[in-house]
């Protein structure tokens, strides 16, 4: 039974140490992020970037980075589209030569028929296979009209013998031209996108150097993977205050746990460890709000709003608030006892304290003993002599 109890205490102690290490690690990450944001602000001012603060600059960089990643894929896609365009262009040129080679006799016959005044046939749009078919049908009808010379009729018959080949060539010509136009359009769209991406990158070029200090945080999973980096400094200050309070309370708790002659230990059951640490974080946030409210009352409107206040000051205030959270809790508890406790009990305790003070004074200064005893006798709740 004793061994089982010891094992439970060791497991509880290990869990507490693990939670303590995790809280300390999270505090370090928040502190590093706040430090990096502060350095970015200093560099932006030194670079004299107009009308750009941390939040707006980060948004511009995030948009440019997204376009840069997409542009890398687009460049690979452009190489593929360029190859497809060259193939489609080559196929179109071959189909164009073949089609117009077959179409030339048809055009010659149609021109001769129109010149003889027998038929005035318009072949129509070259892109329409049905227009070519209709022209062939009209030519066949007109070639049988009276007044058509035998030589022209023979030419028309030769054209009609190649009717199917001409229609197939017309269809192939149309398909290759559409494929060529589609490939050209896709290539132009990619070029336009790459042009916009290059312009966006040029626009944020001046921001790359000031924001270089957050690159490590954003690219490292061990440092949170940039989870806190997108937050504006004014919001990160609140998180920093909370974790500073947690860290301060954790620090005092561990100091008490490792000091000798202390009943509080890592493996000690109870102890209200979680409540003590959480209280430190909450009191630190309370101090942050009070300090911010005091600055607003004094007429300052930008020390907290624009996020330029010293992050180290907020961290130090938060740590101290967390470290002294026990004292604050005791002070509030004493005030609550005076305000809401048993009046008779409070008066009796006050009388006892006055009597103890009188006894101490009597031992130190016998001449003042009479005055101290008189004060103790007149204290509220004192027993009658």
pLDDT in tens, 30-61: 888 888 888 888 888 887 777 788 888 888 88
- Which tokens sit at 291? 């300090």
To the nearest whole percent, how much of the chain has pLDDT over 90? Answer: 7
Q: How far apart are CA 255 and CA 23, in angstroms?
A: 16
Q: How far apart are CA 186 and CA 183, in angstroms?
A: 5
- Residue 169 half-sphere exposure toward CB, CA atoms < 13 A: 18
Give residue 336's pLDDT.
60
Give residue 90's pLDDT.
93
Top-confidence residue, 292 or 55: 55
Give residue 262's pLDDT.
58
pLDDT confidence bin for 180, thresholds 50/70/90: very high
DSSP line for 32-99 = HHHHHHHHHHHHHHHHT-TT--HHHHHHHHHHHHHHHHHHHHHHHHHHHHHHHHHHHHHHHHHHHHHH
Give residue 140's pLDDT.
74
pLDDT confidence bin for 305, thresholds 50/70/90: very low
The segment with the largest mean pLDDT, out of 170-174, 260-264, 320-324, 328-332, is 170-174
Q: How far apart are CA 57 and CA 64, in angstroms?
A: 11
Give residue 317's pLDDT.
78
Give residue 125's pLDDT.
47
User: Does residue 264 have a pLDDT over 70?
Assistant: no
pLDDT confidence bin for 271, thresholds 50/70/90: low
Q: How far apart are CA 111 and CA 262, in angstroms?
A: 116
Selection from 18, 23, 7, 27 nearest residue 240 by Cα: 27
- Which tokens sit at 315? 């961290």
pLDDT in tens, 127-141: 566 777 777 777 777
Q: How far apart are CA 379 and CA 346, in angstroms?
A: 12
pLDDT in tens, 209-243: 888 888 888 888 788 777 888 888 888 888 988 99
CB 93 within 8 Å of CB 172: no
- Which tokens sit at 141? 């009808």
The conformational region for residue 299 under phi > 0 = left, psi -120 to 50 = alpha, else beta, is: left
User: Does residue 251 have a pLDDT over 70?
Assistant: yes
User: Does residue 145 have a pLDDT over 80?
Assistant: no
Predicted TM-score of the model (pTM): 0.59
What's the rounded mean pLDDT across residues 184-206?
A: 87
Give residue 182's pLDDT.
93
Give residue 365's pLDDT.
62
What's the rounded mean pLDDT across residues 248-275?
A: 69
What's the rounded mean pLDDT across residues 199-206?
A: 81
Q: Is 267 helix (H, G, I), strand (E, B) or coil?
A: coil
């Amino acid at each position: 039974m004793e061994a089982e109890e010891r094992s439970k205490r060791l497991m509880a102690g290990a869990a507490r140490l693990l939670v303590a290490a995790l809280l300390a690690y999270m505090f370090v990450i928040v502190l590093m992020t706040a430090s990096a944001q502060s350095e970015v602000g200093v560099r932006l001012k030194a670079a004299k970037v107009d009308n750009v603060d941390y939040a707006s600059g980060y948004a511009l960089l995030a948009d440019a980075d997204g376009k840069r990643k997409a542009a890398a894929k687009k460049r690979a896609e452009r190489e593929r589209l360029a190859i497809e365009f060259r193939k489609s262009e080559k196929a179109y040129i071959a189909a164009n030569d073949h089609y117009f080679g077959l179409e030339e006799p048809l055009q010659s016959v149609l021109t001769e028929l129109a010149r003889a005044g027998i038929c005035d046939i318009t072949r129509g749009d070259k892109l329409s296979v049905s227009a070519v078919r209709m022209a062939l049908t009209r030519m066949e009808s007109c070639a049988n009209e009276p007044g058509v010379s035998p030589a022209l009729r023979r030419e028309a018959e030769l054209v009609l013998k190649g009717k199917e080949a001409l229609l197939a060539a017309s269809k192939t010509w149309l398909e290759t031209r559409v494929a060529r136009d589609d490939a050209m359009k896709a290539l132009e769209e990619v070029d336009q996108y790459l042009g916009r991406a290059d312009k966006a990158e040029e626009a944020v070029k001046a921001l790359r150097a000031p924001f270089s200090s957050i690159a490590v945080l954003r690219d490292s999973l061990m440092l949170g993977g940039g989870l806190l980096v997108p937050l504006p400094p004014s919001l990160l200050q609140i998180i920093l205050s909370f974790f500073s309070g947690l860290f301060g309370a954790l620090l005092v708790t561990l100091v008490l746990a490792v000091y000798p002659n202390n009943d509080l230990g890592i493996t000690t059951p109870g102890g209200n460890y979680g409540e003590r640490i959480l209280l430190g974080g909450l009191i630190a946030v309370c101090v942050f709000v009070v300090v911010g409210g005091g600055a607003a009352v004094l007429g300052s409107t930008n020390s907290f709003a624009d996020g330029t206040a010293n992050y180290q000051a907020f961290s130090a205030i938060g740590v101290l608030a967390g470290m002294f959270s026990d004292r604050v809790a005791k002070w509030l508890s004493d005030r609550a006892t005076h305000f809401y406790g048993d009046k008779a009990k409070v008066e009796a305790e006050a009388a006892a304290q006055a009597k103890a003070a009188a006894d101490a004074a009597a031992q130190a200064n016998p001449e003042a003993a009479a005055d101290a005893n008189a004060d103790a006798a007149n204290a509220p709740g004192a027993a009658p002599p």
